[in-house]
Amino acid sequence: MSNEIPSGAAYAAIEAATESLIAEYVQANPKSAAALEEAKAAGIAGGTNRASIYHSPFPLTFVDAKEATAVTADGQKITDMLGNFTAGLFGFSPGPVKDAVNEAMDHGHALGGAPNVYEARVARAFTTRFPSVDLVRFTMTGTEANIYAINTARAVTGKNKFLIYDGAYHGAWIHGGKTAGPLDSPYEKITVPYGDADLIVDAIRANADDLAAVLLEPVVVTPMSYLKVVSPKAYLQKIREACTEVGCALIFDEVMTSRLAPGGVQELTGVTPDMTTFGKYIGGGFPFGAFGGTKQWMERHDPLHPETINSGGTFNQNALCMAAVAAVFEQLWSPEQCIAHNARGDQLRDAINQLAKQHDVPCQACGAGSLITLIWQNCRVINDDDADTQKHRVDIAALPAVFQTSALFWFHMLQRHDILAGSPKMNYLTLSTVLKSEDYERFLAAMAEFFTTYKEPLALLAAETAPGLAPAQDELALLEMFTTPYTPPV
């Protein structure tokens, strides 16, 4: 029966429904539209300083926010389930962070040009929590943390190249393969597809002579969706062993994923990298990044080391940021708080999947702990049959209708239910600790209403993405379709 569905019928129906919601959105948000125009006129290229938060027709401007509620320029109060792409783990302006920063401000905010009293407290949190970290250094962002880590590996090994996944994102200047662009750092990169440890080990061995590091997120990587499904242990372990064999550093980018367990994904899987990078939520809203590892890899950051790397950075130990991070670790994110929060995320994911089953709609909530990505397809996204092997399969049906449904869901949840369900480009729900049980219940009720309202287009989508029917992937074409690069004025 499904073969008789004309190709693209789901897309046409879902797109038409989205267009009508977008027309309402434009009507309802004139002040946000004007704010973007003002920013453009003021000299910001495209009106935004961060490409990932731009979307068509224009993003919402927030004018106020507290805990999990943001107020838009046009006065709508919305429940935030985007969580600033993982950085907003503790909601807007968390109290303990505010108090700690105010106190630091009262004592001379930069305590400039000298070590401050917060650094050791922050370092202690890293070295006690994360298995790979014996020594640590701080940065301002996750991008910088990755660049510092790569360059540390290059200095220690005397080699040049690093290996990453095709489509990986490790910050503004570090993309893998098909997603790399003109801003990428001019390193020699080797890119490998996610999922087949044997193939990755072959690439590591083939480049042994000049390979300084393997940099990867210990979760599934696709350029189309932020899918934080933890890679199987056997798969990561095989890559771990190959790095040891050829003498290159294994670096885990845990900028996003370290929130999944008290000791990050390295603790969850028991696979310990040589170095790890951090950022995002750890700053409690302030800019922060960190990289750390074993003595062998990190000791050359010591200014007294005979071959010191001499690493600088004016704001790398900024007192306000350090005070914020100390408050995060000491008051907001104990191991118990971390475990309880991720368990709530698991419950919500299960509840969404159950609801989708009851309504017989092609919606899969994937991810781990407090990181949930909705993928709108019928065929399985993750093939867990291989979980104990060295292969891990991810099958995202690269159809415009799949990604168009993310947009439809986002506009619908915003306009009918005052909920910010990720972004229109991807329904990436990164749950904050300030969301309450009532918020979760309201979200599930809103989802049920969405499933009912769009029963027919979702049935078309189910048929077009049935197991075995999903066409070959063309992620690149879809990336172009669903990301909105800056267009210079004519």
Q: Which residues bind ligand PLP (CB under 6 A)?
A: 85, 141-143, 146, 169-171, 217, 253, 255-256, 279, 289
- In the numeric block, the tokens 């390295």 are attached to 266
| CB 165, CB 193: distance < 8 Å | yes
Cβ 139 to ligand PLP shortest distance, Å: 9
Using the Cα atoms of residue 372, residue 375, residue 378 and residue 384 in order, give the sign of their dihedral. negative
| CB 284, CB 325: distance < 8 Å | yes
Cβ 244 to ligand PLP shortest distance, Å: 23
Residue type, 223: P
Q: Is 169 a catalytic residue?
A: yes
Cβ 345 to ligand PLP shortest distance, Å: 18
In angstroms, rounded to a whole number, what is the distance separating the alpha carbons of residues 259 and 342?
8
In DSSP terms, 137 is beta-bridged to 291
Would residue 313 be called left, alpha or beta, if left means φ above 0 and alpha means ψ between -120 and 50 degrees?
Answer: left
Q: Is 253 a catalytic residue?
A: yes
In angstroms, rounded to a whole number, what is the distance separating the alpha carbons of residues 17 and 406?
12
Cβ 52 to ligand PLP shortest distance, Å: 7
Q: What are phi and psi of 466, to 5 degrees?
A: -65, 155
- The one catalytic residue in 169, 226, 440, 454 is 169
CB of 150 or CB of 356, closer to ligand PLP? 150
Burial group, residue 480, by CB count within 10 angstroms (0-12, 13-18, 19+): exposed
CB of 88 or CB of 171, closer to ligand PLP? 171
CB of 18 or CB of 430, closer to ligand PLP? 430
CB of 264 or CB of 457, closer to ligand PLP? 264
**Edge-to-edge strands, sheet with 371-375:** 364-368, 371-375, 427-430
- The one catalytic residue in 148, 189, 235, 253 is 253
Closest by Cα among 289, 314, 334 to 129: 334
In DSSP terms, 219 is beta-bridged to 230
**Edge-to-edge strands, sheet with 69-72:** 62-66, 69-72, 77-80, 419-420
CB of 277 or CB of 405, closer to ligand PLP? 277
Q: Is 235 a catalytic residue?
A: no
CB of 142 or CB of 293, closer to ligand PLP? 142
CB of 47 or CB of 142, closer to ligand PLP? 142
Cβ 146 to ligand PLP shortest distance, Å: 6
In angstroms, rounded to a whole number, what is the distance separating the alpha carbons of residues 112 and 106?
14
Closest chain position to ligand PLP (CB)? 142
Cβ 140 to ligand PLP shortest distance, Å: 8
- The one catalytic residue in 189, 228, 280, 425 is 280
C-alpha pair distances (Å), 140 with each of 87, 276, 356, 420: 13, 15, 40, 27
Name the 3-class secondary structure at 293: strand
Residue type, 359: H
Cβ 170 to ligand PLP shortest distance, Å: 5
Residues designated catalytic? 169, 253, 280
